[in-house]
Amino acid sequence: MLYITDVGPRDGLQSQGTIVGTEGKRALIEALFAAGLRRIEATSFVSPKAVPQMADADALLRGLAVPDDARVSVLVPNQRGLERAVDAGAREIAVVLSATETMNRKNIRMDLDAALNTCRETLAEAVRAGLRTRAYVAVAFACPFEGDTPTGRVVDLALQMRAAGAEEIVIADTIGAAAPSDVERVLGALLGILPAQTIGMHFHDTRGMALANAWCAMARGIRRFDASIGGVGGCPFAPGAAGNLATEDLALMAHQCGFETGIELGAIGAAIETTSRLVGYPVGGRSQRWLARAQA
Catalytic residue numbers read 235
Residue 254 engages ligand COA in binding (rule: CB under 6 A): no
Q: Decide if 59 contacts 99 (C-beta within 8 A).
A: no
Smallest distance, ligand COA to C-beta of residue 203, A:
15
Residue 107 engages ligand COA in binding (rule: CB under 6 A): yes
Q: Decide if 93 contacts 118 (C-beta within 8 A).
A: no
Which residues in 158-180 are b (16+ Cβ under 10 Å) and which e? bebbbebbbbbbbbbbbbbbbee
Rounded distance, CA 187 to CA 206, Å?
20
- Closest Cα to residue 134, out of 177, 198, 90? 198
Candidate segments 70-78, 226-234, 239-247, 274-282, binder of ligand COA by CB under 6 A? 70-78
Residue 205 engages Zn ion in binding (rule: CB under 5 A): no
Candidate segments 103-111, 160-168, 245-253, 268-276, binder of ligand COA by CB under 6 A? 103-111
Residue 173 engages Zn ion in binding (rule: CB under 5 A): no
Rounded distance, CA 238 to CA 103, Å?
8
Candidate segments 16-24, 105-113, 179-187, 204-212, binder of ligand COA by CB under 6 A? 105-113
Q: Decide if 13 contacts 53 (C-beta within 8 A).
A: yes
Q: What's CA 128's distance to the chain center, in Å?
A: 23
- Closest Cα to residue 126, out of 166, 89, 181? 166
Among 237, 269, 278, 279, binds ligand COA (CB under 6 A): 237
Residue 11 engages Zn ion in binding (rule: CB under 5 A): yes
Smallest distance, ligand COA to C-beta of residue 96, A:
4
Could you say which of Zn ion, ligand COA, none residue 118 binds, taking C-beta under 5 to 8 angstroms by partner kind?
A: none
Q: Decide if 166 contacts 123 (C-beta within 8 A).
A: yes
Q: Number of residues in contact with ligand COA, rule: CB under 6 A?
A: 19
Residue 45 engages ligand COA in binding (rule: CB under 6 A): yes
Could you say which of Zn ion, ligand COA, none residue 108 binds, taking C-beta under 5 to 8 angstroms by partner kind?
A: ligand COA
Residue 44 engages ligand COA in binding (rule: CB under 6 A): yes
Residue 80 engages ligand COA in binding (rule: CB under 6 A): yes
Residue 78 engages ligand COA in binding (rule: CB under 6 A): yes
Candidate segments 23-31, 104-112, 226-234, 288-296, binder of ligand COA by CB under 6 A? 104-112
Residue 46 engages ligand COA in binding (rule: CB under 6 A): yes
Smallest distance, Zn ion to C-beta of residue 266, A:
27
| Interface ranges with ligand COA (CB under 6 A) | 14, 44-47, 50-51, 75, 77-78, 80-81, 84, 96, 107-109, 235, 237
